[in-house]
Amino acid sequence: MLIKIRIVKNAVKGEKIVVHGTSAKIKGVELVPMAGSRGSETIGKPVVFGHDPRAVGASKNLYQESITYANKNAEYGNYGQIVIGSAKKKDLKNVGKVLDAAGPDAVLPNNPTTQKYLYSEKPITVKKVIEPVQKTYPGTSKQYTAFDPKILQRELRKQGVSLRQPSIAEQAEDVRKVASRKIQQIKNRRRFKDDSDF
């Protein structure tokens, strides 16, 4: 019931939930537009980037894309955060369209992934900050630090959002890629066996 209320509230207020990964520790209640990244330089102004949890296939790639930014300094033991934020729909723009228009010198032009990124020139309100947790390797007592995708999904649901599943076309493409890899592996094994007969 609470989730349905959140969905209605988001719609009535004209707001959209986005996910942001950062290697910095968030201070305050807003994500503030900044300049300096290659993406913001291409756009030509300070912006805040976010992943769209309702983009096609978000259930497959949003978590990984978010932790790529959150884990930027992980090798030094400095983990960042995953932030769930809220912005006015009218303030959010599609990154892919801007980068495509910028031409071949832009960051990742014509890349389907960039079509799923959003940006805002205005601050984004922080709804929830997700920290990494301690996990234990199966069958051992050794621990490691990682972000838990289940926590991200749960917190998104609390904000009235569920990650969108891959489209039928994307699922078919995934199946095709898996089949193609298996065929190539079989060919490689046969080639290796034939070469070893000499």
* pLDDT tens-digit profile, the chain (198 residues): 555 555 555 665 789 999 999 998 888 899 999 887 777 887 888 999 999 998 877 888 889 889 988 998 888 888 999 999 999 999 998 876 555 454 555 544 445 555 568 999 999 999 999 999 999 998 889 999 999 999 999 999 999 998 877 667 766 776 788 888 888 888 877 776 665 555
Residue position matching structure tokens 């898996």: 178
pTM over 0.75: no
